[in-house]
Chains A and B, each alone.
Chain A
């Protein structure tokens, strides 16, 4: 927890405590006000309103918390179930005692308030009131008697002098003041015991009314100060000296002895207080119940808020832990949960942080190891990719776990297609691979650690030699299954061919060298024999000699041709390559044959515009001548059809395909294997070097040649690279 949030929490707590303090204080004042404390009486309603406001605010806060809880529950946030469980537990734990306290306190309060009032007190107070009233009645009667007595005396005095005698009569009586009032209710004169009291005290209207009608008015009333009781009397008196009816009023104010006054006041105050309390009994009960209810409600609400806060504080680290765990689950180990307490939760958080750090370290190590393994794998794949040998890894369940691209190339399949396939899938996709599949199945059954074998694959007219080397994988080194094989194989066909070509070249070179030298002397000797002895011999011998020498000469010529051919095969002249088209060369060769060998039906299908090739034109003319000658010589009928077609390869970029086909019998099965090797011919008198030389020329130009039969006859297909400027 950082400092700022720490201060914020402290500030928040202080604020809440302050609020609670103010609230409790206002509730205390409320209670005091109900008890009758005058200083709080005027602010009672404000205090009550403030308490209600506090209840409303707290209720809003709690509603807001409940809504928050509901939303969080709906969103299934971590830790929210625990929070709601804690809050509900707290509510269920706190409500019953609060209700019990409320019910019992209310009952106690009601019975306490009821205990204030009983019949004995009631009677005693009423009796004392009655006693007081009787005493005051006596006093009143005495006052009235005095007033009447004075009024009588005044009636015997003529009116102008009545005021003069009033002071005298006041001194003789116990009255505080005497007031002479005219019939028209005007104060004529007022005599006061206190000479400084100049105020006039008019009688009430009802008193005048009573007195005018002849009734004597008398009553006890509170004095001006409130505490002092006084007796007011008012009597009407007639002036006996006057003939005409004339009357006046005399008002007397009599004070009561202070001692009696205090007692009477005490009775008055006590009785009024008692009556007041009695009158307010139900209202007091209600008020105390409301205040008690408010106190308990506020306490419960505050406690609820505290419960929310505590639950949140308690659950917060758990929630953070949950979030951090989720982050770790998705591989983010950087999450650290802040340690906010020193209790068990804090210990748990610390342990979690340690654990996540360790996981992060282990993960980093694992990641590094994985990266190393991956780079090793990539390296191995790179090596395998650039390996010219095919490599297969096969498990003991005959499934291909790994194959490099060279393997796919050699086997004539896509390396991705064969992955995770059973090895029999190879034979299904390419039947020529059956010997390889059989070999692998056999070796899987064997327990030879290492083995080496050469197999022949025959696909249509192509024969290939594969040299296969295998090694058994130890049982514990494979992940998916036990044991298996690693097989490395190479297509040795080309090497084999090259070796054979080299051998044939050597043979041809030696043959040409050894045979060519004696041929000229043999020919010359045969010609000398013919020249010297032909005309000397008898005719029967002459004919024999002539035929013999002619045979020798012709055979030597043949031998010379053969030797020259061998010589050409063995030691080809250096290529003189130049850029140019192939179409004209083809046309020239065809024209040459067309002129010298009428009857051959040539069909040309040459690509236009023709691609530029980089070829030795002389050698290529020789190639074409050899091919046409080969087709012509192999023909069995007189209707010879030769088709020459050029096209751009669709499978390989920048390669021209030259296809020459005829309507002959095609290549025999027997010769197909060694078709391009010297001395392989089906023709009588053929040297067997034609196709061998063709192949050599093609290879010198960086191309490939293949031969096969189609439905019409033999086909020779040459692939040549197109010249790139």
Chain B
């Protein structure tokens, strides 16, 4: 603030700038992702590495309302194996995606989550149950790497481009629709 005082000669100016910076920091803090991956389970099976995330997923009432009204919501679960590099970009070894879709089946009042790649699906009477078992459809299978410094990371993002067009713009700036997780990473071994 002292430096700001030097830059902006008037105290009132520096005061307002201070308030502005505070609000930016505050906004960034509250804008942090509400959902996150809390664990990445890795299982080695023959020459494969099976990765399955454990997700703490919470969705807003707005999203439930949209799903109840027939909006199909798509998620993309991304996972990568990589080797960390100092002072440079990490070296990606393998990258995989799982496309998921959540929708409401009105005829029997079920919430369905479906793996769009395998057509595997789970149906739930309760909306909250869906998010508990949501992760069951997310399984990544990587090749085992020789390197012992291999990391695996995963995140889940809402595919906003798959939403109906009319919704895409409002959703872009709506916090209730900001349900992406941050990258979660761990060392494989």
Contact = CB atoms under 8 A, between A and B. Distances in A.
Interface string A263-295: 010011001111110111001101100100000
Contacts of B170: 283, 286
B124 interface: yes
Contacts of B112: 221-222
Nearest to B103: A272
Given A206-B129, A268-B105, A272-B106, A280 B167 contact: yes
Given A205-B133, A206-B125, A206-B129, A275 B107 contact: no
B66 A279 contact: yes
Contacts of A280: 164, 166-167
Interface stretch (B25-33, B38-46, B89-97, B115-123): B115-123
B168 A279 contact: no
Contacts of A219: 108, 110, 123, 125
A42 B71 CA distance: 16
A129 interface: yes
B4 interface: no
A36 interface: yes
Contact of B119 (A204, A206, A225, A229): A225
A408 interface: no
Interface in A542-594: none
B148 interface: no
Contact of B106 (A129, A221, A287): A129
Nearest to A274: B70
A44 interface: yes
A258 B92 CA distance: 48
A394 to B, nearest CB: 80
Nearest to A267: B107
A48 B66 CA distance: 23
Given A205-B133, A276-B71, A280-B164, A45 B169 contact: yes
A473 interface: no
Contacts of A273: 70
A269 to B, nearest CB: 9
A163 interface: no
B168 A221 contact: no
A204 B164 contact: no
B165 A220 contact: no
Contact of B107 (A42, A206, A226, A229): A229
A681 to B, nearest CB: 108
A231 B21 CA distance: 58
A131 B165 CA distance: 32
Given A206-B124, A206-B125, A36 B105 contact: no
Given A219-B125, A284-B166, A45 B161 contact: yes
B91 to A, nearest CB: 30
B108 A279 contact: no
A222 B172 CA distance: 31
B124 A36 contact: no
Contact of A222 (B71, B123, B162, B169): B123
B65 interface: yes
B161 A42 contact: yes
A132 interface: yes
A54 interface: no
A136 B107 contact: yes
A351 interface: no
B126 interface: yes
Nearest to A47: B165
B64 to A, nearest CB: 12
A273 B106 CA distance: 11
A489 B172 CA distance: 109
Nearest to B118: A224
A268 B123 contact: no
A interface, size bucket: 35 or more
Determine chain B's interface SS by DSSP, over half rule: mixed
Contacts of A478: none
A221 B167 contact: no
Interface residues of B, number: 35
A55 interface: no
Given A206-B126, A272-B70, A279-B66, A222 B166 contact: no
Contacts of A206: 124-126, 129
Given A42-B161, A272-B106, A204 B122 contact: yes
Contact of A41 (B69, B119, B165): B165
Contacts of B71: 276, 279
Interface in B46-82: 65-66, 68-71
Contacts of B126: 206
Given A33-B165, A48-B169, A222 B69 contact: no
A224 B114 CA distance: 9
Interface in A76-110: none
Interface in A112-158: 129, 132-133, 136
A286 B172 CA distance: 14
Interface in B132-185: 133, 160-162, 164-170, 172
Nearest to A222: B105
Contacts of B161: 41-42, 44-45
A659 B53 CA distance: 137
Nearest to A273: B70
Interface in A23-41: 33-36, 40-41
A280 B164 CA distance: 9
Given A224-B121, A276-B70, A268 B106 contact: yes
Nearest 10 pairs of A and B residues by beta carbon: A272-B70, A279-B69, A220-B108, A276-B70, A283-B166, A275-B70, A33-B165, A221-B123, A275-B69, A287-B166
Interface of A: 33-36, 40-42, 44-45, 48, 129, 132-133, 136, 204-206, 219-222, 224-226, 229, 264, 267-268, 271-276, 278-280, 283-284, 286-287, 290
26 contacts: A34-B165, A42-B161, A45-B160, A45-B161, A45-B168, A48-B169, A132-B107, A133-B108, A206-B129, A219-B108, A224-B121, A225-B119, A226-B119, A264-B107, A268-B107, A271-B106, A272-B104, A275-B68, A276-B69, A276-B70, A276-B71, A276-B164, A280-B166, A286-B166, A286-B169, A290-B169
Given A41-B165, A204-B123, A222-B123, 13 more contacts: A41-B162, A41-B164, A45-B168, A133-B108, A136-B107, A205-B133, A220-B108, A222-B110, A226-B114, A272-B104, A275-B69, A286-B166, A287-B165
